[in-house]
Structure 1
Amino acid sequence: MKAIGRTLLALAVLAVGALAWWLLRSNAPPPDTGHPVDAASLKDPALIAKGQYLATIGDCAGCHTVQGGAPFAGGRELVTPFGSIAAPNITPDRGTGLGDWRFEDFWRAMHNGVGQHGELLYPVFSYTSYTKVRRDDALAIFAYLQSVPAVQNTVPAPTLRFPYNVRNGLKAWRALYFKEGEYREDPSKSASWNRGAYLVQGLAHCNECHIARDALGGARDDAPLSGGPIPAQNWYAPDLSTQANGGLAGWNEQDIVDLLKTGKSSRGTAFGPMAEVVVRSTQHLQDSDLHGIAEYLQSLPPRPVAAEVKLPFDTKALAERGRDIYTKQCADCHGDDGKGKNGIYPPLDGNASVTEPTGANATRVVLLGGFAPSTQANPRPYSMPPFAQQLSDADVAAVVTYIRTAWSNRATIVRDRDVSGLRQTPVD
């Protein structure tokens, strides 16, 4: 029945898309109105250096570089619930990259989500965030990308299921979820806050992961950065509010800066997809930008009080089993009180990755191990070994349930079947 429902929903979306195409077919993005860019100006070393830094903030290489491949040459498969899309080659190769692109083409892709030939881009390219990037910053990024070595590399075509492979259907999606427009500063806030907001909302595209999405891959616009499952990866990107009931409740500015700069803080450690973001991007940011980001995140509003967790059965036996496993396998590092060891092993009491709504993060770390990123400020981080071979699904469910309900934690339990499903998740 669920499959039939999804099919009907997809057909409905296609129908809406066809209607949107008929209604909006003359509403193509307006022609570029900026001044033409002189090709010689793209070779300005200062502009290129600025673009390199901005491309690092945006973690462009993270998607556009396949493991072991040439930087920015594309080919990394981006898996979505609707199929897969290989990230394109964005080196200046004339045949397979951006060698024939003008800046106006690049600006339209970033700002409007429209390709060189007028095709609508799939939102796996985060133009829903990049639209906020200012034109002069986009120009710097383009100058930098035009300066990197050209690599000939043709990437595979998208393998999306019907009807998601019908690009005209994106007109309906864009009408629902895409709001075009550059970031506008809030004059009531500090310059540092505005810089942080500009980066978080735009180039750093934090909301692309840290938000729940509906069946069509759309995100709510009334609760940014409120956390959500990362589609097709089985990780949960936590809520980023530091206020009451937020995922980072109690974190201070320095905690956030430390995590982004070093991969660890007194409140937690970066694992999973966030560890890669720290390695490729945030550890390289200027301190002023890190503090601006932290200042902005600290201004996110309090969250609603979570509904009281109602346990489906008496979990005393499950928790006792989990406590025994924790005492044998975990307490030496994380402590009987779950406080960890500052600067070495992260705390589990009050840890956002432990208490996130699904239990996926803690379960995957127990199964796969916890490997903090190696950064310039923390080149030899402590890691946690995997327990997938030592612990059964029932054991993992018990110990994860224990740490999610012990001390001050009040999260939901994890069941054997949850562990089994996550055990089968491929590692990217």
Structure 2
Amino acid sequence: MTTVQSPPAPTAAIRPKVMARAGLYAVLAANAAVVTVFFAQAGFASNALIVLGRAAGLYGALLMAFQLLLVARLPWLDRRIGMDRLTLWHRWVGFGLLWTLVAHVVFIVLGYADSSGLDPVNQLVDLAETVEGVLRAVVALALIMAVGAVSARSARRRLAYETWHFIHLYTYVAVVLAFSHQVAAGSTFVSSPAATAYWWTLWSVALGSVALGRLVLPLWRNHRHRLRVSAVVPENDDVVSVHVTGRDLDRLPARAGQFFLWRFLTPDRWWQANPFSLSAAPDGRTLRLTVKAAGDGSAALRRLRPGTRVFAEGPYGAFTTLHRTRPDALLIAGGVGVTPIRALLEELHGHAVVIHRVATERDAVLHDELRELAEAKGAELHLVTGPVAPDRLAPHELARLVPDVTDRDVYLCGPPGMTAAVLRSLRELGVPRRQIHFERFSLAG
């Protein structure tokens, strides 16, 4: 077994997550200030409703550009914030964008209707027929409302991921239509050469970030590394490990704890991509993922043949040693959530305590490897078995297993229910939030 150790984690004056989050807030605030200045310079209409409508439209355009940045999957942001948190921000900004654009339409229509004497419906029809770009804006709003409807939790639970993702792609159509509307009808857009240059630059950066992070970078990395399956190893009846090799893997910026969006190019599965964590620290020669059969896609991995081409997007995730704040660590895994935990243990420096929570010993995937690695690194390993109730990781149980838990970084990966329960236990024990690291493997956009 190859053990990859990282140097001791330095104590950073500013944590990477805080720096990235502050940077995003600063960028948004600075652009909001610029938009406000250009809006004021363009002058105000005599009708207060039209003024409010134009302001809502401008800030809606800014939020739309910010949305693109959140879903661009840029490595610098992802490694520091994490795709799950970017996805959460994307969700809330998306609902804010929807209501801002609705306000834009309502105020503009009511404002012009007040001046013309038409009723709101006929006024909207008149604007769509007589003002260039308005019809495109109406279509864009309808698309954004449809995406917002299917993104609601109740609707999202009823849709397959592929269906939801396909509908979500219409957001890009809405972005193009909205931008063309702004170019054609936006008074602030053409109010001055500086305003025009600003909006072109903003949209170019936003769309360029998406193209770079979601198209150019994945294509370039896969062309460079030429990934292929090198071995398929059953771990038990339900779990399989897939070993992947390629060229120049030592130049792939993957770290223990991260995941890829894997696409195995077989005739029946080339179109399906799934997020799976690395189950061993990258060693520059191979990558390994370990997967439990939970559906047709994951079950089909057992039938992969060595030599199968692989298209992988990533690495993604902030569940890494980059965010360490303490010299010692506690690693808690639930079930097959042990895969990134096992990889992290391989890379961690300092004393570690590992807790693996499973229903039965038979469910303890990779436990032999975990035990050997713990012995090699001088780590403590606890296998906790039994039914869900009573809670084997309740505050008093965690305090018994790890008396100095508040002095450690805690890395947690497991099913949602277990993750929520352990987070409650850590809070009750007084573990500072900055020392708790967990990630839900979801992808922005």
TM-score under structure 1 length normalisation: 0.28
Q: Which structure features the higher share of helix residues?
A: 2
Q: Relative contact order, CA 8 A, sep 6+: which one is greater?
A: 2
Q: Which structure features the higher share of strand residues?
A: 2
